Amino acid sequence: MQGSTLIIAAVLLMAALNVSMILATVGVKVLRAARERRLQDRKNRLEPPLYDFLATGEVPRLLLQAKGEDREILSALVVELIASLRGADCERLVGLAWELGFVKRDLNRLRSRRRWRRARAAENLGFFGGPDVAPQLAALLSDEDETVRAVVARALSRIGTPEAAQALARTLSDPSELTSLRAAENLERIGTLAVGPLIDLLDADERRAPVFAARILGDLRVSEVRPALNKKIRREWNTDLRAQATLALGKIGNPEDIPAILEASEDRSWPVRAQAANALEIIGDTSTIPTLEHLAIDREWWVRLNASRALVNMGPEGERTLARILEGPDRFARDRAAATLEERGVIRRVVGELSDPGERGEAARVMIRAMVRAGATRYLRRLAETSPEEGDREALRALMAETF
């Protein structure tokens, strides 16, 4: 009897707990919905005078008198509008932020103990702080919190002054690789104003920062840095920097740099050879196909991969080179060439050309025969069953049977 009573009590307790949890969940949702309605009502009340300010240039009394939560909502509205506007309207909103004391408030919040408050303040200042706040923001690039550092880097890129670029460039040597990556992304957003500090970093006596600098300068297509990059390819002790300098020259795309890239294709370190293949692909000069053919049989997988992809993008001559590799003695090079031709849709295309007259049809048949002799027949068999044209399927099956 006593055991039954205990079971009943336990069941009732569990039921009471479940009901309490349901009521608590419903209560939280009700409170959250009520808060969201209240915030939306306040936002709806503040938006019209803010738009009136943009139209007239006069600050309505309601904006000047905003306090507490209204003031925070107004600040968020100003940031939202600055992010979507340009020109005079944007400048007017920045002036309003200064007049309403938002800039001073957020500069004080940069010293807050709470990381989310520092991050929010930095984000706001990136929109309406202007060049005058860049030094205070730059000081937080060494903040203890990774998120704060990332937000500060983005804020500095929005300000986009030479001083902001200098501060971000110094951060490329930060011990945190993630922080360095964020600085690199935002230096690229700043663009030409970042070129000077980045060029200076190429000669920095450290491993990571010069590599980032070379990569960004290549992405920005900075032609004036070509001599410095050529020097790095030929004389640099840092393998990663030699590799990035090689790729950067490819992105800049001046044919005069091809000799330096060809030299890099013979580098002792495979990352440099791999980037040389990428650089030659970007430039796209067919005179470099013999070098790419040599790289396509390199002992390192990444080099073979990049060289094969470069060849397939060199047009018919590059495709013929891959067909020759299929006939070569290196099994790994053959496999990579076959995979590249399949991935890039070349094999599917040439199957449709098997019955064509003249050189195009003959080139298609040469390539398919090479694929068969290389043992790369799985994809061919699939095409022999699934190609949409019956004539293509029959021609492929006949050629495969003949070659076998």
pLDDT score of 189: 94
Q: Cβ atoms within 10 A of the Cβ of 404, count?
A: 8
Q: How far apart are CA 136 and CA 117, in angstroms?
A: 15
pLDDT in tens, 288-324: 999 999 999 999 999 999 999 999 999 999 999 999 9
11, HSE (Cβ side, Cα atoms, 13 Å): 6
Encode pLDDT of 30-86 as tens digits. 666 665 676 677 788 888 888 888 888 888 888 888 888 888 888 999 999 999 888
- CA dist 140 and 135 (Å) reads 9
360: CB partners within 8 A, 6+ apart: 353
* pLDDT at res. 125: 95
The ranges assigned to domains in the chain are 253-343, 345-404
Q: State how far the Cα of 123 lies from the Cα of 153, in Å rounded to an integer.
A: 9
Residue whose C-alpha is closest to residue 262's, from 239, 295, 302: 295
Are the beta carbons of 234 and 223 closer than 8 angstroms?
Answer: no
User: Rounded to the nearest 5 degrees, what angle is found at the Cα of 329, between the Cα atoms of 316 and 310?
Assistant: 35
The answer to whether residues 403 and 372 touch, using CB atoms and an 8 Å cutoff, is: yes
What is the DSSP track for 295-310?
HTT-SSHHHHHHHHHH
Task: Give the pLDDT score at 204.
Answer: 86
User: What is the secondary structure of 186-234 as a DSSP string?
Assistant: HHHHHGGGGHHHHHHHTT-SSSHHHHHHHHHHHHTT-GGGHHHHHHHHH
CB 78 within 8 A of CB 93: yes
CB 266 within 8 A of CB 295: no
Q: Structure tokens of 17? A: 């707990």
Euclidean distance between CA atoms 202 and 242, whole angstroms:
11
**Per-state percent for the chain, helix, strand, coil, to nearest 5:** 80, 0, 20
Task: Provide the CB-side half-sphere exposure for 373 (13 A, CA).
Answer: 16
Distance between CA atoms of residues 64 and 354, nearest Å: 77
Single-letter amino acid, residue 304: R
Low-confidence ranges of the chain (pLDDT < 70): 1-3, 6, 9-10, 12, 23-24, 26-36, 38-39, 404
Residues 397 and 389: their CA atoms lie apart, in Å, by 13
Per-residue confidence (pLDDT) for residue 7, from 0 to 100: 72
- Cα distances (angstroms) measured from residue 273 to each of 11, 201, 294, 350: 72, 24, 11, 30
- 105 and 117 Cβ atoms separated by less than 8 Å: no
Tell me, what DSSP letter sits at residue 264?
Answer: H
Q: What tokens does 16 get?
A: 């009471």
Nearest Cα residue to 186 out of 220, 145, 210: 220
Is the CB of residue 198 less than 8 Å from the CB of residue 187?
A: yes
3-state SS, residue 387: coil
pTM: 0.81
How many Cα atoms sit within 13 Å of 299 on the Cβ side? 5
Q: What is the pLDDT of residue 1?
A: 54
pLDDT at 234: 82
Is the CB of residue 303 less than 8 Å from the CB of residue 270? yes
The Cα 156–Cα 165 span in angstroms is: 8
CATH code for 253-343? 1.25.10.10
